[in-house]
Amino acid sequence: MYFLSDNERKKLLKGYLPKSREQGVAEELRGWNWHQPPLEPVYEVLLPLYQIAGKYCDSGRDVFLNKVGKYKGKPNTAMLLGTLFHSLIAFMLVRTKKLIYLYGTNIEMISQELNGALKEFLENSADVYQQLSEASDCQDKDRVTSTAKECLEQLFNYEYYRITSRIQDILSRQPYIGEDSLAAQAVPFILEQNLDGSFLGLSSNLHADAYVFSEPMIIDLKFGTREPFHRLTTTGYALVMEALYDYPINVGCIVYGEFKKGRLYIQKDFHIINDELRQWFIEERDEKMRMVYNEIDPGKATNCDEKCPYFTVCS
């Protein structure tokens, strides 16, 4: 799902990247200026990036209950399914890299071994399936687990054929390519990259879904309804990477997946990580840090969702 089509790559290289350079970013909003306002953390509180970027609870009481009340939310079905889908994609892409280093350019062996990845993944995900049946909003255990397996099979088939056809295409154009170069071109992503966000008052154990090093871009994967605040996630990761590596990250992409009528539909939201998004992220961070540091209960949200992990505690 992270791979770009030819048209998407053209849009990125000829549109978003040049435009981002033209617009520029205020120097004080670059992550490498974490040691001075407005990026310098005001409070001695470390928060996970998802709690800052996630505005599903419009009052932010989910953060208060977790950090101040010490309550641990119970994952709902959508959250657990999202975990499965994220994990399968990362598992397949990392496995592909390993197989290339193991078998070199032997596409037959790579394809054969990768074809068994879904079975292994399902065997290793038994605990998540158990959590699915225990989710607060799970009303039909058999239907939920059956649907999950069907979606995983669709996702696996999509990724499998994208990966193998990509490798075959590279080999057809570069017959003397080595395994290291093949791995870098076939899977040009850093997956689940560990990042220390403490410079910016964030958790020291952050994990970005994917980073494209050939076209500096943060990628985040979502399954569900598109929301404007989703761009805060890519913005947060861009700021963290700038703080760590002193290198500008100007573009983000949110990949939206949806299973409908037995098919997987994919949409990509490319966006420039501009001053407006950076300022919005800083404001969200500062407000939630203040709430936690001063133990301020913001009250219930205007529209509480029964699927909220904290619904039973909050109500």
| 262 located within any domain | yes
At 269 the pLDDT is 98
| 1 located within any domain | no
| 288 located within any domain | yes
Render pLDDT for 293-312 as a digit per residue (tens, 0 to 9). 999 999 999 888 888 889 88
At 134 the pLDDT is 74
Q: What is the mean pLDDT of residues 65-79?
A: 92
CATH number at residue 225: 3.90.320
Q: Who wins on pLDDT, 56 or 142?
A: 56
| 299 located within any domain | no
| 91 located within any domain | yes
Is the pLDDT at 138 greater than 70, yes or no? no
At 108 the pLDDT is 97
252 touches 218 (CB < 8 A): yes
> Residue 73 — pLDDT band, cuts 50, 70, 90?
confident
User: What is the chain's alpha carbon radius of gyration, rounded to the nearest angstrom?
Assistant: 21
| 134 located within any domain | yes
At 141 the pLDDT is 72
The two structure tokens encoding residue 239: 């700021």
242 CB-near residues (< 8 Å, 6+ apart)? 30, 31, 32, 248, 249
Q: Cβ-count burial of 160 within 10 angstroms (0-12 exposed, 13-18 middle, 19+ buried)?
A: middle
Element (H, E) at 269: strand 263-272
Q: Cβ-count burial of 254 within 10 angstroms (0-12 exposed, 13-18 middle, 19+ buried)?
A: buried
| 300 located within any domain | no
Domain count, the chain: 1
Q: Which domain holds residue 50?
A: 6-293+306-314
Q: Which of 178-182, 223-227, 263-267, 301-305 has the lowest mean pLDDT?
A: 301-305
Q: What percent of the chain lies above the pLDDT cut of 70?
A: 98
